[in-house]
Chains A and B, each alone.
Chain A
Amino acid sequence: MSEPLRGVIVSHAAVAQALLAAVAAITGVRDALVSVSNDGCDSGALAERLVAAIGGKPAVLFVDLPGGSCLTSSVRLARANADVAVVTGVNLAMLLDFVFHRDLAPADAARRAAEAGTKAIRTPAA
Chain B
Amino acid sequence: MSIALYRIDDRLIHGQVVVGWGKPLNVGFIVLVDDTVRASAWEQDLYRMGVPPEIEVVFASTAEAAERLPEWERDPRVGILIAGDIDTVLALSANSHRVSRVNVGGIHHRPGRSERLRYVYLSDDEAAKLKALAAQGVEVSAQDVPTARPVPLTEFT
Chain A residues proximal to chain B, CB less than 8 Å: 12, 38, 40-45, 65-69, 71-72, 75-76, 79
| 8 A Cβ contacts from B1-37 to A | 10-15, 18
B108 within 8 A of A: yes
Residues B110 and A68 in contact, CB atoms below 8 Å apart: no
Nearest to B107 among chain A residues (CB) is: A42
Contacts of A76 in B (CB 8 A): 46
Which one of A40, A67, A72 contacts B18 once the chains associate, using CB atoms below 8 Å? A67
Residues B11 and A68 in contact, CB atoms below 8 Å apart: yes
B68 within 8 A of A: no
Contacts of B10 in A (CB 8 A): 42-43
Nearest chain A CB to B120 CB, angstrom units:
11
A-B contact count (CB 8 A): 52
Chain B residues proximal to chain A, CB less than 8 Å: 10-15, 18, 42-43, 46-47, 49-51, 106-110, 118-119
Contacts of B47 in A (CB 8 A): 67, 72
Query: How many angstroms between the C-alpha atoms of A68 and B119 in the bound complex?
Result: 16
Q: List 26 A-B contacts (CB under 8 A).
A: A38-B11, A40-B119, A41-B108, A42-B10, A42-B106, A43-B10, A43-B11, A45-B109, A45-B110, A65-B15, A66-B49, A67-B14, A67-B15, A67-B18, A67-B49, A67-B51, A68-B11, A68-B14, A68-B15, A68-B50, A69-B14, A71-B46, A71-B49, A72-B12, A76-B46, A79-B42
Contacts of A38 in B (CB 8 A): 11
In the complex, the 4 A-B pairs of residues with the closest C-beta atoms, listed nearest first: A67-B50, A68-B14, A42-B108, A69-B11
Nearest to B51 among chain A residues (CB) is: A67
Nearest to A44 among chain B residues (CB) is: B110
Which one of A45, A67, A71, A79 contacts B108 once the chains associate, using CB atoms below 8 Å? A45
Query: How many angstroms between the C-alpha atoms of A72 and B106 in the bound complex?
Result: 16
Query: How many angstroms between the C-alpha atoms of A67 and B10 in the bound complex?
Result: 15
Residues A65 and B50 in contact, CB atoms below 8 Å apart: yes
Query: How many angstroms between the C-alpha atoms of A75 and B42 in the bound complex?
Result: 10
Nearest to B85 among chain A residues (CB) is: A42
**Beyond A43-B10, A72-B43: 14 further Cβ-contacts under 8 Å?**
A42-B108, A43-B11, A44-B110, A45-B110, A65-B50, A66-B49, A67-B13, A67-B18, A67-B49, A68-B11, A71-B50, A72-B46, A75-B46, A79-B42
